Chains A and B, each alone.
Chain A
């Protein structure tokens, strides 16, 4: 079945450091891929998405490229800020499946120190 694996946290970085959070997936067909962010005490917010191979999603300085050959969708940011401290979830939605069936990774907690 479909599944998502992302690197375990927590990840602790200094401000302005480079961020990579790895995400790989298993799916049949052509899933859509997402990164969600959850700030403390809040719900999940969509950070970026990609719906087909080689698409690059980007938002707020974060980027991720849909790599079908490596079944990956790694999240990157060139220079993190303290305000980026949050939990990041990689997710997929299967092609042709229920609109509701988002499949999530376990989440990676990021802490950015000043």
Chain B
């Protein structure tokens, strides 16, 4: 049973370009979460999505960042007009949905974005 897949694992972009990060959740999982880890920092929550819905985007920067989780295909985190401060590791996690107890999140290996 494949785990959470993220690609690319490493991405280099020049300032002003767009970055697209992909996340395929574990089989059977319908919830996806994105986190960002800046150098020397812990992971920071960005956004929580279900299929075709954004549930919580309280951690997303107000500009240039967007996320989607379409009915078919992977979740996409999109960063427009990247700046050097966007250089970080971006982690995706997935879980199944359940009422009552809060489900465990399973993490992918991350995408390391470098903006030159």
Give the B-binding residues of A (Cβ under 8 A).
4, 32, 36, 41-46, 89, 91, 93, 98-107
> How far is the CB of A47 from the nearest CB of chain B, in Å?
12
Within the assembled complex, what's the spacing in Å between the Cα atoms of A46 and B91? 14
Give the residues in chain B near A46, CB-CB below 8 Å.
Answer: 104-106
Q: Does B103 contact A (CB under 8 A)?
A: yes
Give the A-binding residues of B (Cβ under 8 A).
3-4, 6, 31, 33, 35, 40-45, 47-48, 55-56, 58-59, 91, 93, 95, 102-110
5 residue pairs of the A-B complex, CB under 8 angstroms, read A99-B48, A99-B55, A100-B48, A102-B35, A102-B105
**Most chain A CB neighbours (cut-off 10 Å) among B6, B42, B91, B93:** B42
Known contacts A43-B3, A43-B109, A104-B43, A98 near B91 by CB under 8 Å: no
